[in-house]
Amino acid sequence: MNKEWHIYEADEKEVSRIEEKYKINNLLARILVNRNITQDDKIRLFLEPTRNDFYNPYLIKDMENAVERIIKAIEEKEKVIIYGDYDVDGITSITVLKSFLKDIGVDADFYIPNRLNEGYGLNKEAINKIVSEKYDLMITVDCGISGIEEIDYANSLGLDVIVTDHHEPGDEIPKAIAVIDNKREDSTYPFRELAGVGVAFKLCQALGMRLGLKEESYLKYLDIVCVGTISDIVPLVDENRVITKLGLLLVKQTKNLGLRAIINSSGYTKIDSNTISFGVAPRINACGRMGETEEALELLLSKNINEVNELTKKLNERNKTRQEIEKQIYESVIEKINKDHLEDHRVIVVGGKGWHHGVIGIVSSKITEMYFKPSILLSFDDEIGKGSGRSIPGFDLHDSLMKCSKYLEKFGGHSMAVGVTIKKENFSKFVDAFEEVAKEEKIEQIVPIINIDAKITLKDIDKEVVESLKLLEPFGEANKMPMFAFKNMRIDSIRALSEGKHLKLTLKEDNKIINAIGFNIGELAEEYRIGDKVDIAGFLEINTFNGTDNLQINIKDIMKSV
């Protein structure tokens, strides 16, 4: 598929100024300019954030009310329960808040709805159970902002509620003791993109300040806050940058037995944002997807090494099961796409029987990535189908479903991801209507865009320059790994690896040679020949093999030079 390359045109004068003032190389300065990090205070905050860069938590609406209510619970020895979500953000939120509350004298319990039976957020049955067990105060984490009716119900039963959340509120906010969410319309907090665990951390910070505790009382949990923040794919800028940059330093020496065990079992030796995103997060998420969320929470809370080892083993087993189920669903979906030539459609909608609801969203993401088309996968049990959808940049999936809503029982989500429920009798009507919406939106005109930080040559880089790019870590949403363009490179050698799955090249420019690897594009080994001139877009990395370091391009796109 043809991709459009957008190469930044940096302000050369500004690049030179930053390069000279901060004594960094040209490439690093150029990337900072590309990302609009040019003011001195922003540069310092981005490269070297400190604990002094956290905002005052009392700038958050209702924080005062929340702190006062929790202090009352401490003084009167009330029963407190934390109500969380089943994903990594929710699990880490509960871990941080429960651990900190225990430090200050509140042995809070927790409640996590079962993903498969209860779904996301508050529900009245859970509230009935919590009230029946005589809890006085419920604190939500990573959920609650949309629970208007449920919190009214809790109020009617005499249960006090504090909401901490980071999702967008609706037209009204819940009538809780406190609603801590920086996306409230009346919020004046300087940063609105905290993850759920970030909001829970700010509550801990506010409590610590009110009680006159040392900063370490809440900063010691930054390793867990960092894991939840990176995993929830929120923008890694501003206060999230402070959380993750400082948090990763703690992750490397974490005292949390469960987190250390997950990392060790994941096989990752280098601890960075990739380790969290692809080593830690899938293992914690697998428990929620398979309906066994409490195992992940227990692991992060455990102080017993034998229990930790047993729970880590279970998490790995859940993740392996999730991978197997995902593979089965993926193969089934691909078979249906090929059989019905769905790749020729503007959008891909596939229904199947008995597909696991906790895994279907991951498969939808893979289908969308593979075909660069919005996809919705539905699992039918009897006459009702439930599923998930993923979109491409430039196509608002939620908005498009609004236009087909008469064929849907319910749906929710945002522009890039949705959940859907539909009757089987309306399936084909919905498919036709959705395809028509995509046609009206001219979706075929949307092409994948690769944002490239700089066009460079091999003489511009060496090991030291590539090592310097680590200053930009952690990478994630709104701070992507730097992408570079190399033009007119001569193929010196080419072959496919792993039974044709991956592409391996050596590329030559003047008298310099560099290795290149292209994952999952092994079929291109048949399209290119030694001597061909190619343009490459990719990441720069240092590949260590047999104790030797070599520069390598991780290919994201390749085309013949013009």
What pLDDT band is residue 1 in, cutting at 50, 70 and 90? Answer: low
What pLDDT band is residue 125 in, cutting at 50, 70 and 90? Answer: very high
In a domain, 499, yes or no: yes
As a whole number, mean pLDDT of residues 328-346 equals 96
CATH number for the domain harbouring residue 495? 2.40.50.460
Report the DSSP beta bridge partners of residue 421: 386, 410
Using CA atoms, how far residue 544 sits from 270, 463, 493, in Å, is 12, 12, 20
CATH number for the domain harbouring residue 393? 3.10.310.30
State the total domains in the chain: 3
Tokens of 85: 């979500």
CA distance 322 to 283: 9
Kindly report the pTM of this predicted structure.
Answer: 0.90
Residues 81 and 140 in one domain: yes
What pLDDT band is residue 96 in, cutting at 50, 70 and 90? Answer: very high
What domain range is 11 assigned to?
Answer: 4-48+450-560
Q: Are 485 and 537 in contact (CB under 8 A)?
A: yes
Which residue in 417, 363, 408 sits closest to 389, CA to CA? Answer: 417
Using CA atoms, how far residue 208 sits from 97, 103, 212, in Å, is 12, 10, 6
As a whole number, mean pLDDT of residues 162-187 equals 94
As a whole number, mean pLDDT of residues 467-475 equals 94
Tell me: the pLDDT tens digits for 440-462? 999 999 999 999 999 999 999 99
Which are the contacts of 104, defined by CB distance < 8 A and separation ≥ 6?
74, 207, 211, 213, 217
CA distance 422 to 431: 11
CA distance 478 to 471: 15
CATH number for the domain harbouring residue 145? 3.90.1640.30
Kindly tell me if the per-residue pLDDT of 290 is higher than 90.
no
In a domain, 101, yes or no: yes
Task: Tell which of 200, 231, 251 closes a domain.
Answer: 251
What pLDDT band is residue 167 in, cutting at 50, 70 and 90? Answer: confident
Residues 471 and 437 in one domain: no
In a domain, 380, yes or no: yes
Residues 436 and 369 in one domain: yes
With the CA atoms of 27, 455, 245 and 276 taken in that order, what torsion angle do they form, in degrees rounded to the nearest 10? -150
Give the pLDDT confidence score for residue 120 in this predicted structure. 73
Residues 84 and 215 in one domain: yes
Task: Tell which of 445, 473, 506 closes a domain.
Answer: 445
Which residue in 137, 143, 146 sits closest to 172, CA to CA? Answer: 146
At 358, is the secondary structure helix, strand, or coil? coil
In a domain, 155, yes or no: yes
Residues 244 and 153 in one domain: yes
Task: Tell which of 230, 251, 272 closes a domain.
Answer: 251
Give the pLDDT confidence score for residue 155 in this predicted structure. 97
In a domain, 109, yes or no: yes
Tell me: the pLDDT tens digits for 486-499? 999 999 999 999 99
Residues 20 and 108 in one domain: no
